[in-house]
Every structure is written in structure tokens, then in C-alpha cells.
Amino acid sequence: MLILASSSPRRRELLTQAGLEFVVEAADVDETPQKGESPAQYVQRLAVEKAQAIWDRHKAADDSENPNDPITVIGADTTVVLDGEMLGKPVDQADARRMLELLSGRTHQVLTGVAAITRTAVASEVEITQVYFDLILERELVQYLASGEPLDKAGAYGIQGYAARWIPRIEGCYFNVVGLPLSRTLAVIARAQEGPGDARVAL
């Protein structure tokens, strides 16, 4: 049994695209950064904490009664980083404008922490993608903000939507920018299911 500890529709779509069967159960964890924590450490920690929160709800059911269907929980967290500042989901339109104005004409990084937990192992890694932005015209920015699309996305944009017009190229995994690096996620799941151990690698 595979459980996705996320309410993100984009992550659901990507896992479905990869041919996985899973159920969704969103995790509610404190996403406040810890003092001195790097962006990579932050997204990796939250991915593990989200997966752990859902695993704790279900671990009693993951016993010898279901030897052929062990539970694996996937957690993920994404942030956009520019000049060392993490840009999460904007709190309102003004915050979304601030983020997009910062990103305009600049190169930033998208980091996603991915974690998988089973009865015998915890595996987690971090994917990093470089994203290049063209200058954003004011009229396009106004139109984008009015659409409401930026409000539920880290960094206030989605590469698969209207904002694609500002992105001439990326270096790294496209799916990471959407919200879940598929290849790395499958590798993390495989490691956790192989168990035992605690394998946490931040790139």
C-alpha cells in the first residue's frame, strides 16, 4: 500500500503519470524553518516529518496480517531559493508580486525533498533544479496575479502554467519544478522498501 502524504494535486498527477497506485492522506506539520537550517536541510526534514506523521497513523496496520502489501508513505516538500532566501507559498497577492518581481530576470533554484518510510527504513534525498527567468512585463504580471494561479505554489509560479512563458530554460529535472522529481522519488521508494536503515542524502 502506497500513501502520498500530500494534498498537492500536481504530486498526485505526477505519481499517476508514473503508473503508481496510491492513496492520498495529507500531513499537517509545522513548516517553520529551524535556526541555521539550509534550504536543502529544510525540505528534506519536512519531507521526512510529513511521511513520518502519516506513517505513525498507519503503522499499527502494517503487520504480519498484510505481508504482501506493506505500507510505504511518501512525503515531499518544495521551496524556491533565490540568493539564499527561501520563497514558499505566498500569503497573498502582494506577497506573490514581491516574489515574482524578485525572480524576474534572475536564475533561482527549486529544491524538493522526497522521503519514503516503511516498517524497516527511512530514505530521503533532495533534488535541485536551476530555473532561468526572463524579465516579467508588468501587464503579464498583473494578468498572472489576477488568475489566482500563483497563490498555492512555492515561489508564486507554476512552470506548467502561464508562467512557462518566462522560463527559457532549466538545468535539471523538470518534474522537480512541477513539485515531485519522479525518477528520484521512485529510487527513494525502492531504497525504503529494500530496508533496513536510515538513508538521508542531501545533494
Do 72 and 118 meet the contact criterion of CB atoms below 8 Å apart? yes
- CA geometry: angle 194, 55, 112, nearest 5 deg: 75
Does residue 77 have an active-site annotation? yes
Contacts (Cβ under 8 Å, ≥6 apart) of 135: 104, 105, 166
26: region left, alpha or beta (phi > 0 left; psi from -120 to 50 alpha): beta
The catalytic residue among 30, 77, 152, 198 is: 77
Question: Which triple of cell numbers denotes residue 107?
Answer: 536564475
- CA geometry: angle 86, 177, 179, nearest 5 deg: 90
Residue 87, strand partner residues:
80
**What does the longest C-alpha to C-alpha distance in the chain come to?**
60
Do 72 and 20 meet the contact criterion of CB atoms below 8 Å apart? no
Closest CA to 7 of 48, 40, 50: 50
Catalytic positions, written as ranges: 77
